[in-house]
A and B are shown apart, each in its own frame.
Chain A
Amino acid sequence: MRKAPFYIFVSALALFFFAFLIFPLFGILKSSVWDGEHFTFAYLAAVFQNQSIRASFFNSLFIGVAVTALTTFISLPLAYFFTRATFPLQRLFSGLVLLPMIMPPFVGALGMRYLFARCGSVNLILNSFGIPSVDFLGGGGLFGVVLLEALHLYPIMYLNVTASLASLDESLLEAARMTGAKPLTIWRKIILPLFLPGYFAGAILVFIWAFTDLGTPLIFEFRNCLAVNIFDRVTDMHSNAVGYALVLLMLISTCVFFLISKALSKDVRVISTSKGAQGTAGKKLGVPALVFVYAFLAVVTLLALMPHISVILVAVSDKWFMSILPETYTTRHFVGAFTHKLAVSGIRNSLFLSSAATSCDIILGIMVGYLLARNKGWWREALDALIMLPLAVPGIVLAFSYLSAFSGTRLDPLKDPTALLIICYSVRRLPYIVRSVYAGFQHIGEAMEEAARSLGAGFARVTKDITLPLLSTHIAAGAILTFAFCMFEVGATILLAAREWDYPISKTIYALNMRLGDGPCIASAMGVIGMVLLGGCLIVSGALLGKKMGEIFRGSSN
């Protein structure tokens, strides 16, 4: 890239990030420790002294840790089966285990209440066998939140772990074996060091997601966690600074965890192996192992599909009260989802916002990806860190900071949240598309562009004829994922969209769910529509990216 456009673009990018990431976040910091005249720790102290806030912090921490642990427990065996073994129906199952990604957990929560509540289907089945009811969603909904989030998030962990295991070429292990190393030593010295970076990269995404999720606790009415506490304080944010201190606490926590995981997932460059390497061809399993694998897969798949099934059931239920399955069925909720004023505007708003944010991200993503992949310099690391920063900034934190920074300005979300929602979505999803484009640039290699330049093609020609066509699959895959995630963004959406006609899908579902009567059923029907949409998006981008899907969901760049 020539010097002048390069500096213009980098400056514009820096300005954008300053205005919509650094400046608002700095506002949070300032409001947490500045009372208008003095520097003060009073608000932060109030946060730590307040027992209920302390409890909510530890609850969120518990949710984060428990979900990470649970996803690890589910993903490790799965990844091992799929990379190191071959068995019948492997392809089918490898698709099935990714299904949870097509539904955000707060939508799943809509249906799971019907299945696991005290008088829900599962307890009714237990009762019919004379077993007393079990409080599945006990802890005021805490366990429900953990379960739902774990079931939704384990595919992200699985994709990371699988990518890590797949890069562990058999020849590396064979080489270790040839030195006479014992299995334990190979495990400790070769497998773990190569595997852990990928694991931590995935674990941090899962942890931050669970730690800061707002939608699921809201639906389960589990109010004693950090995200809901922040949500509750939005209304009096201009009169009470404790909200800022809470947001700061969340931000510091996620940043600390993010930095720890970054340190732990220091990139290990795996040099591609020579010809004749074994690759990671799987072993054929014996009968006992096969039984174990199928049993595990069956349990995981069943559990993972439970939220989907339950949401579909609620969406088609006419009457469902104190019975295992709905008593009568209907399609009118789907009609409602396409005709209800709120639902229609919700779908329209989401489509518009997500398309706009995705377009914005495509342009930014290609440029940033190019800068990162094709330039060297001290600023490269700084740019990478800046772009990846949104991974550590929860949606709810960013939205809160926007509310505080831009209220009363032209961008005031209370007047019209459109611009800020688009920006917020773009900032938050940019890391994913940058990752995808960057992987594309790495894949095609610089020589492809240089070859064209040596034949007389200028920058524009090279970009049009060589770079963009070769990058197209990566751009498309990243864009589709970005679009899908924007459609179901919850935290920022719930905070920023204040007026009913501005609601995107996720807030519409939340609002409908709060209404009596058909509300939850129409909300579920919208959830099902969303599920189909998200599923379609993921299938297409998965087909485009193939095995590189895992690279997009990594907590550190490679």
Chain B
Amino acid sequence: MSLIIENVKKSFGRLEVLKGISFEVEQGEFFFLLGSSGCGKSTLLRIISGLADPDEGRIIMDGEDVTKLPAEKRGVGLVFQNYALWPHMTVYDNVAFGLLVKKLAKDEIKKKVAKVLRDVKLEGLEKRYPAELSGGQQQRVALARALVIEPKLVLLDEPLSNLDANLRLEMRSELRRIHKELGLTMIYVTHDQKEALSLANRVALMHEGKLAQLGSPTELYRSPATKFAAGFLGETNFLKGRALKKKESAWEIETPWGACEIASDRAVGLETGKALTISVRPEDLSLSGNEDSPHFAAKIKENNFLGDITQLVLEAKGETLLLETLSASGLKVGETVKVWPETKDIMAYGE
């Protein structure tokens, strides 16, 4: 199913939670709403599900305006953060509920429940009550309950946040498999960037009730559209600089390592002569390079061995920055090193 969100606004009292959000989700997409808590992503999910009404704007599903349609008539599956499994019903009854509501024949219900339980690998647990299941199993029941009604759209509200780290990894690949096998359109709300980056076709990054950026995980990570987006996804170093001159398809900017040029699609809101913030990822700083290319000296403040990589905390020109490298053996705290930035990957944001 395709979905269009059109200028959706929502306030609770004086608090403006959604300030006009618009985007489209395509059929079969695994779409993520990513943002820190309080950014409005769960409210938006509830509005899509029909459990909450927008103050303004429209929700269009497969070309039909469903803004006024109550939740029970939207045919949307919803997986709750705390699962919301009914404690007085068995696994079978929980999953079969939506089909009973649709008044399906008993045999058909049996068949469908059996299939969906197979899909989420829960065969044999039909007679158990939610309290008799592990966290991961409860999660699967919640998923099965949402999937069994064969929804056109599945909404997942931080579905993995109550699981421990190992289980979360396992469920991530389960979700990827289920999405692929069933070809469903899924919208997934999370604050966990790793979940979003690893699973999503596209991510809508939300910030203070607005859409900060919309794009593929790679786009969001490699070309964050705002300073907020750069800081939210992964780690980055923010350094001060100044815009010097606009060229045809590039900007000349002043950086801690001297003047350099960046492509104009990596420069956001710059004005000649004005201050700017440079974002450079830790993995885009390197300890080796050509003496002719721009580089600068930095002092090692910390040397953190993280197993696969080593993270160095450096000090240069009064600023602290992070550098990630594969081999940093032999480097000592207090030592001065030369640092080469990958200038084609940096971003610059006007102040």
Q: Chain A residues in contact with chain B, CB under 8 A?
A: 445, 447-448, 450-458, 461, 465-466, 469-470
Q: B197: CB under 8 A from chain A?
A: no
Q: Chain B residues in contact with chain A, CB under 8 A?
A: 49-51, 70-78, 80-82, 84-88, 97-98, 101-102, 145-146, 149
Report whether B97 and A457 are in contact in the complex, using a CB–CB cutoff of 8 Å. yes
What A residues does B84 contact at CB under 8 A? 445, 447-448, 450-451
Report whether B101 and A454 are in contact in the complex, using a CB–CB cutoff of 8 Å. no
Report whether B86 and A454 are in contact in the complex, using a CB–CB cutoff of 8 Å. no
Report whether A466 and B86 are in contact in the complex, using a CB–CB cutoff of 8 Å. yes
How far is B146's CA from A455's CA once the two chains are assembled, in angstroms?
A: 7
B contact patch SS: loop
Q: Can you pick out 13 interface pairs between chain A and chain B where the beta carbons lie within 8 Å of each other?
A: A445-B84, A448-B86, A450-B51, A450-B78, A451-B80, A451-B145, A454-B71, A455-B97, A455-B145, A456-B75, A456-B98, A456-B101, A457-B101
Q: Which 10 residue pairs across A and B have the least CB separation, nearest first?
A: A455-B98, A447-B84, A454-B78, A451-B84, A453-B71, A456-B101, A457-B101, A447-B80, A453-B72, A456-B72
What A residues does B146 contact at CB under 8 A? 454-455
How far is B85's CA from A453's CA once the two chains are assembled, in angstroms?
A: 13
What A residues does B88 contact at CB under 8 A? 469-470
Select which of B76, B81, B82, B85 is within 8 A of A454 by beta carbon.
B76
What B residues does A461 contact at CB under 8 A? 101
Report whether A456 and B73 are in contact in the complex, using a CB–CB cutoff of 8 Å. yes
Residue among A445, A450, A451 with the most chain B CB within 10 A?
A: A451
**Closest A residue to B103 using CB positions:** A456
How far is B313's CA from A313's CA once the two chains are assembled, in angstroms?
A: 85
What A residues does B80 contact at CB under 8 A? 447, 450-451
Whole-angstrom distance from the CB of B72 to the nearest CB of chain A? 5
What A residues does B70 contact at CB under 8 A? 453
Report whether B75 and A451 are in contact in the complex, using a CB–CB cutoff of 8 Å. no
Report whether B78 and A451 are in contact in the complex, using a CB–CB cutoff of 8 Å. yes
What B residues does A457 contact at CB under 8 A? 72, 97-98, 101
Whole-angstrom distance from the CB of B138 to the nearest CB of chain A? 13
How far is B97's CA from A465's CA once the two chains are assembled, in angstroms?
A: 9
How far is B81's CA from A473's CA once the two chains are assembled, in angstroms?
A: 26
Report whether A445 and B82 are in contact in the complex, using a CB–CB cutoff of 8 Å. yes
Report whether B49 and A455 are in contact in the complex, using a CB–CB cutoff of 8 Å. no
**Closest B residue to A462 using CB positions:** B72
Whole-angstrom distance from the CB of B185 to the nearest CB of chain A? 15
A-B contacts besides A447-B84, A450-B71, 13 pairs, CB < 8 Å: A447-B82, A450-B80, A451-B78, A451-B80, A451-B84, A453-B50, A454-B71, A454-B77, A455-B72, A455-B77, A455-B149, A456-B73, A465-B97
How far is B98's CA from A455's CA once the two chains are assembled, in angstroms?
A: 5
Report whether B97 and A454 are in contact in the complex, using a CB–CB cutoff of 8 Å. no
How far is B305's CA from A209's CA once the two chains are assembled, in angstroms?
A: 69
What A residues does B51 contact at CB under 8 A? 450, 453-454
What B residues does A453 contact at CB under 8 A? 50-51, 70-72
Whole-angstrom distance from the CB of B139 to the nearest CB of chain A? 14
How far is B149's CA from A463's CA once the two chains are assembled, in angstroms?
A: 20
Residue among B50, B71, B75, B76 with the most chain A CB within 10 A?
A: B71
**Closest B residue to A2 using CB positions:** B70
**Closest A residue to B46 using CB positions:** A450
Whole-angstrom distance from the CB of B351 to the nearest CB of chain A? 39
How far is B301's CA from A287's CA once the two chains are assembled, in angstroms?
A: 59
**Closest B residue to A470 using CB positions:** B88
What A residues does B74 contact at CB under 8 A? 454
Whole-angstrom distance from the CB of A6 to the nearest CB of chain B? 14
How far is B76's CA from A456's CA once the two chains are assembled, in angstroms?
A: 9
What A residues does B102 contact at CB under 8 A? 456
How far is B70's CA from A451's CA once the two chains are assembled, in angstroms?
A: 13
How far is B50's CA from A456's CA once the two chains are assembled, in angstroms?
A: 11
How far is B71's CA from A491's CA once the two chains are assembled, in angstroms?
A: 49
How far is B74's CA from A450's CA once the two chains are assembled, in angstroms?
A: 13
Residue among A447, A448, A452, A454 with the most chain B CB within 10 A?
A: A454
Report whether B97 and A452 are in contact in the complex, using a CB–CB cutoff of 8 Å. yes
How far is B82's CA from A478's CA once the two chains are assembled, in angstroms?
A: 28
Report whether B145 and A458 are in contact in the complex, using a CB–CB cutoff of 8 Å. no
Residue among A448, A466, A469 with the most chain B CB within 10 A?
A: A448
How far is B80's CA from A451's CA once the two chains are assembled, in angstroms?
A: 8
Residue among A452, A458, A461 with the most chain B CB within 10 A?
A: A452
What B residues does A452 contact at CB under 8 A? 86, 97, 101
What A residues does B87 contact at CB under 8 A? 470
Residue among A455, A457, A469 with the most chain B CB within 10 A?
A: A455
Report whether A470 and B86 are in contact in the complex, using a CB–CB cutoff of 8 Å. yes
What B residues does A469 contact at CB under 8 A? 88
What B residues does A447 contact at CB under 8 A? 80-82, 84
Report whether B101 and A455 are in contact in the complex, using a CB–CB cutoff of 8 Å. yes
Whole-angstrom distance from the CB of A546 to the nearest CB of chain B? 15
Whole-angstrom distance from the CB of A376 to the nearest CB of chain B? 8
**Closest A residue to B99 using CB positions:** A455
**Closest B residue to A465 using CB positions:** B97
What A residues does B85 contact at CB under 8 A? 451
Whole-angstrom distance from the CB of B285 to the nearest CB of chain A? 38
Whole-angstrom distance from the CB of A242 to the nearest CB of chain B? 49
What A residues does B72 contact at CB under 8 A? 453-458
Whole-angstrom distance from the CB of B330 to the nearest CB of chain A? 41
**Closest A residue to B95 using CB positions:** A455
How far is B49's CA from A558's CA once the two chains are assembled, in angstroms?
A: 30
Select which of A448, A454, A458 is within 8 A of B49 by beta carbon.
A454
Whole-angstrom distance from the CB of B73 to the nearest CB of chain A? 7
**Closest A residue to B98 using CB positions:** A455
How far is B147's CA from A285's CA once the two chains are assembled, in angstroms?
A: 55
Whole-angstrom distance from the CB of A464 to the nearest CB of chain B? 11
What B residues does A466 contact at CB under 8 A? 86
Whole-angstrom distance from the CB of B277 to the nearest CB of chain A? 37
Report whether B86 and A456 are in contact in the complex, using a CB–CB cutoff of 8 Å. no
What B residues does A454 contact at CB under 8 A? 49-51, 71-72, 74, 76-78, 146
What B residues does A450 contact at CB under 8 A? 49, 51, 71, 78, 80, 84
**Closest B residue to A448 using CB positions:** B84
**Closest B residue to A451 using CB positions:** B84
How far is B102's CA from A195's CA once the two chains are assembled, in angstroms?
A: 50
Whole-angstrom distance from the CB of A274 to the nearest CB of chain B? 13
How far is B51's CA from A453's CA once the two chains are assembled, in angstroms?
A: 8
Residue among A447, A453, A456 with the most chain B CB within 10 A?
A: A456
What A residues does B73 contact at CB under 8 A? 456
How far is B157's CA from A454's CA once the two chains are assembled, in angstroms?
A: 13
**Closest A residue to B75 using CB positions:** A456
**Closest B residue to A454 using CB positions:** B78
Whole-angstrom distance from the CB of A454 to the nearest CB of chain B? 4
How far is B101's CA from A451's CA once the two chains are assembled, in angstroms?
A: 13
What A residues does B81 contact at CB under 8 A? 447
Whole-angstrom distance from the CB of A549 to the nearest CB of chain B? 21
How far is B51's CA from A470's CA once the two chains are assembled, in angstroms?
A: 21
**Closest A residue to B80 using CB positions:** A447
